[in-house]
Structure 1
Amino acid sequence: MTGGRPGPVLVLGEALIDLVPVDGDGGVRAAQFGGAPANVAVGLARLGTPTVFAGGIGGDGFARTIEERLREAGADLTLCARSGLPTALAVAEPGAGGTGYHFHLQDTATFRLPDLSAQTSRFGAVYVGGLAAVVEPAAAVVRATAEAAASGSLLVVDPNVRHDRALGEDDGSAVLRALCGLAHVVKASDEDLERLWPGARPEDTCRRLAAGGRLTVLTRGARGSTAYTATAPPVSVDAVPVEVVNTIGAGDAFAAGLLSRMSALGSFTASPDPGTVRDMLSFASRAAASVCARAGTEPSVPAGT
């Protein structure tokens, strides 16, 4: 799965609206473009990578905001599913341990995804994850597309675990573990892995996933990132020092940076050499830092590239 001229990246999943507290007035919330897959699609497009976003777009004002944001970034929306249903909402609850969410998901356009399982071979890589992986009816579509991509493309899974009563008794953990098992590339935070495989050290989980032939990338916020492969020692890169203004979307920017660099290097593969791995991690870290340094979730092109 290495291409000299890899195809575009397909990003399948949700684009929704985050309702985030306004600084100085905890009782007021601002509507903000969100959804991990949508953030990744925007990030990829902003970084110059040909990107097709396949989500569910509704008929309300929020949907028009979402479509405008994706189009302005340069993402191709021709494969999106459309309906007159409303857009899903995620109410952000920032706290000392990170940002939590309460979701309003049911009967929305957001999770009516197109089934692209017959088209995955058109793409250099297929990215799935986020809420769409665990919320029906989207979850069935994500699963079918992931299974097809596992045999005909490069499947990238970012579990992006979220906790909320709307997601069922186990918050979709079993589904996300199964997707990681299908993947060629897994990008996950230490918190994701602790929630998916409780009782196991994230590093040990990464080694186990990598032993199955996967490129497994562990992110640890300010402590940097480490990539594990089946054939070489782990490669670690420090986080880029930055005065943090915002952390929402930093993990999505990292994922976009990783895939963007893969595309630029012609390395849509689960087994890049250690030098290429270090290059990809460094680029992704700088993309994430560009988000942390200012308000918003869109990465800028890292300096020195």
Structure 2
Amino acid sequence: MVVGEALTDLLVDPATGVRRALPGGSPANVALGLGRLGHPVRLATRVGRDVFGGQVRSHLRDSGVLLTPGSVTGTPTSTATATLDASGAATYTFDIAWSLTREAVSSLRTGSPAHLHTGSVAAVLPPGAETVLAAVRWTAPRATVSYDPNLRPDLLGPPEEHRERVETLVAASDVVKASDEDLAWLHPGVDPEKTARRWAEGRGPSLVVLTRGAHGARAWWRAGSHPVPAPRVPVADTVGAGDAFTAALLSALLGAGLLGGTPGCRTRLRAATAHDRLPPVVVGALDLAARAAALTCTRPGADPPTGEELGL
């Protein structure tokens, strides 16, 4: 189960000013990535019955993602205008309203998922953020949880208004993936690696992964850290790369039985991160995630790879 926003990315070419409309939204991108990697996925979200909403629904359906009942509404589909610079990096402006219908909220408690993922705008923007937090709290005793803050400063108020909520979600999660930009904004003047290390050494997540764009990533756990190099690729843009990283990481950990809806999964993940070296299965999951992100950078928009493209 993935809970969070699905929207339309309006990509603006820096040279021509031409806009392209592509389906996006960080949680929806993670759901899409998991679907393409062969996992049955449900997405609790909010999209309209307009043209953009139809594109989003088709995009998700074609990769096996099912929208929960109540996810399609009569309100317009949210948009994020992404302006690309010369390197393909994107800055965003949003036109978004986030909440879940009563029917969608009810669907979150229809059966226990094997795993719950959430994050981004949905986890901090009222009024829907309260629903997301409630879903995490309900799921955590029943299944594993992952969280990606994926914060959007232009859409939010001062960082101090969001720190407590972010820290609460981190503490309730088994796996956290965050970017260095996220943590630099959330804790100004604090080295993002220091924050990632603090999260990993606390009572919450067993694994914290800090992504650093072209500089790769670093995984943190209670007993140590591990560098994850970024493959060198020609970059079309970086839209959705972090979400592809998250989807591939979760996919590999689910496949290894380190995430899931049985008590043994959480215990195995904690055991795998209890020593000063990560076991090969976790190192392999991190490397797969880096390759998935790199492949996504080679094509426009949030277009995560399939298992076949990753050689699985």
Matched, 1:21 2:21: no
Summarize the Cα distance change of 1:220–1:14 in structure 2 as closer, same or farther, 3 Å threshold: same
2:28 corresponds to 1:38 = yes
Q: Name the residue aligned to 1:267.
A: 258
Which residue of the partner structure matches residue 218 of structure 1?
210
**Superposed displacement of residue 296, structure 1:** 3.2
Contact persistence 1:217–1:227 (CA under 8 A) = yes
Note the 1:149-228 alignment, pairs <5 A.
Answer: 149-164=139-154, 166-170=155-159, 173-174=162-163, 175-213=165-203, 214=205, 215-228=207-220
Taking the aligned partners of 1:59 and 1:303, their CA distance within structure 2 comes to 34
Q: Residues 16, 304 of structure 1: CA spacing in aligned structure 2 closer, same or farther, 3 A cutoff?
A: closer
Contact 1:120 1:126 in 2 (8 A): no
In 2, are the aligned partners of 1:193 and 1:202 still within 8 Å (CA)?
yes
SS at match of 2:303: coil
What are the equivalent positions in structure 2 for 1:87-166 lying under 5 Å apart? Answer: 87-95=77-85, 98-106=89-97, 111-112=99-100, 114-115=104-105, 119=109, 122-164=112-154, 166=155
In 1, the alpha carbon distance for the partners of 2:62 and 2:108 equals 28
CA root-mean-square deviation: 2.2
How does the TM-score come out when normalised to structure 1? 0.87
SS in 2 for 1:17: strand
8 Å Cα contact 1:120/1:152 also seen in 2: no
Distance 1:304 1:236 in 2: 22
Moved over 6 A (4+): none
Query: Are 1:290 and 2:303 an aligned pair?
Result: no
Whether the 8 Å CA contact 2:79–2:94 is kept in 1: the answer is: yes
CA displacement, residues 237-280 of structure 1 (integer Å, 9 cap, x when unaligned): 21112111221000000001101111211111442351222111
Quote how far apart the aligned CAs of 1:96 are.
Answer: 6.3
Change beyond 3 A, Cα 1:199–1:171: closer
Asked whether 1:243 is paired with 2:248, we answer no
Aligned residues: 290
SS of the counterpart of 2:76?
coil
Counterpart amino acid of residue 36 in structure 1: S
Q: Superposition pairs for residues 67-78 of structure 1, below 5 Å?
A: 67-78=57-68
Identity level (%): 40
Q: Deviations over 1:100-145 (max 9, x none)?
A: 2111124xxx533522586387222111111111222211111111
Q: Shift of residue 42 of structure 1?
A: 0.6
What does residue 299 of structure 1 align with? 304
Letter in 1 for 2:211: T
For residues 257 and 266 of structure 1, the distance between their equivalents in structure 2, rounded to whole angstroms, comes to 14
Provide Cα deviations, 1:52-79, integer angstroms capped at 9, x if missing partner: 1111122211111111111001112234
Q: Report 1:228-239 matches (<5 A).
A: 228-230=220-222, 232-239=223-230
Unmatched runs of 5 consecutive residues or more in structure 1: 1-9
Does residue 252 of structure 1 match 2:243? yes
Aligned residue identity for 1:226: R
Partner residue of 1:59? 49
**Could you tell me which amino acid in structure 2 is paired with residue 180 of structure 1?**
V
| Structure 2 gap ranges (5+) | 260-265
Shift in CA distance, 79/227, structure 1 to aligned 2, threshold 3 Å: farther
Quick one: distance in 1 between partners of 2:91 and 2:36? 27
What CA distance in whole angstroms lies between the structure 1 residues aligned with 2:297 and 2:151? Answer: 20
**Residues 1:85 and 2:75 are matched in the alignment:** yes
| Alpha-carbon distance between aligned partners in 1 of 2:95 and 2:7, rounded to the nearest angstrom | 10
Amino acid at match of 2:286: L
- The C-alpha deviation readout for 1:133-189, integer Å capped at 9, x for no partner, is 12222111111111122322211110001122x433448632323322322211001
Structure 2 counterpart of 1:7? none
Alpha carbons 1:161, 1:192 under 8 Å: kept: yes
Q: In the alignment, is the contact (CA less than 8 A) between 1:117 and 1:148 conserved in 2?
A: no
